[in-house]
Chain A
Amino acid sequence: DAKTTQPPSMDCAEGRAANLPCNHSTISGNEYVYWYRQIHSQGPQYIIHGLKNNETNEMASLIITEDRKSSTLILPHATLRDTAVYYCIVRDSNAGGTSYGKLTFGQGTILTVHP
C-alpha cells in the first residue's frame, strides 16, 4: 500500500468547514483512498473512501486531485464532536494478496474543533 503524509495537527472553529489534506504521491491506479477517524479511546470509525471521483456521504466529502497524488477530506460544518485523529490510508482495491485485512495507519492528523 502506498505511503501517505498528513499534517500532525489542525484547528477548526465550530460550524466552519474542516479541510484535512493528505498526500499520496506514490498511489497506483488500483489503489483507493480511505479515511478513518478515531475519537479518544474509541475504535477507529470509517468515514469515506474513493478512487478518483469526488465522493460525498452523510459524514464528509472526499476531493481527490486529478493526478490522484493528493486528497482532501472535508467536514462541512465541524462540531466539537468531530475532534479526533483523522487517518488517510491508501489501499489496493483488490482484497487479495499480502495485504489481506491489513490497514496501515500513519500518525494521522489531530483535528481540534474549538467553540
Chain B
Amino acid sequence: KAGVTQTPRYLIKTRGQQVTLSCSPISGHRSVSWYQQTPGQGLQFLFEYFSETQRNKGNFPGRFSGRQFSNSRSEMNVSTLELGDSALYLCASSLALLAGERRTEAFFGQGTRLTVV
C-alpha cells in the first residue's frame, strides 16, 4: 500500500513569507503527527491531529499551526518565516490512537526540506 506522502519535497522561501506543507497519511490511518528536524535540535514534535482535532502540541511558537481534513490529510503552516525555520519537516501517520487503545507504530513520510533565505 502507498506510504505517507509529503508535498512538496523541497521548498525555498524568503524571510517573512508563509508556507504550507501537505501530508497524506497511509489509507485508513486516522492520526497524523508533524515533526521538525534540524542539525542542532534533532527531531522535535510539533503537533498531532486525530479526527480533525489537535490533540497534542509541542513547544513551538504560534507561528506554527496545522489542520486535518475529514479524509485525514493534514497541512501545516508556518507564518512569518525566520531563518531558523529552515529544517526538514516530517509527517507521520498511525492507525489508531484512542485512549485505552494499544499504540500502533508510526510511519513517516520522506519529509519536506524547507530552506528560508
Listed in ascending order, the chain A residues whose CB lies under 8 Å from chain B are 32, 34, 41-46, 49, 87, 91-107
Contact = CB atoms under 8 A, between A and B. Distances in A.
B58 A49 contact: no
B33 A102 contact: yes
29 contacts: A42-B110, A42-B111, A43-B90, A44-B90, A44-B92, A45-B108, A46-B107, A49-B105, A91-B103, A93-B102, A94-B100, A94-B103, A95-B103, A96-B101, A98-B56, A99-B56, A100-B50, A101-B31, A101-B33, A101-B50, A101-B55, A102-B45, A102-B56, A103-B33, A103-B106, A104-B45, A105-B35, A105-B43, A105-B44
B111 A102 contact: no
B94 interface: yes
Contacts of A95: 96-104
B87 interface: no
For chain B, which range describes its interface: under 10, 10 to 19, 20 to 34, or 35 or more residues?
Answer: 35 or more
Contacts of B4: 43
B111 A43 contact: yes
B57 to A, nearest CB: 9
A42 B49 CA distance: 22
B45 A103 contact: yes
Contacts of B32: 101
Residue from A32, A43, A91, A103 whose CB has the most chain B CB atoms within 10 Å: A43
A107 B105 CA distance: 20
Contacts of A94: 99-103
Contact of A100 (B35, B97, B102, B105): B97
Residue from B50, B92, B105, B109 whose CB has the most chain A CB atoms within 10 Å: B105
B88 interface: yes
Contacts of A107: 42
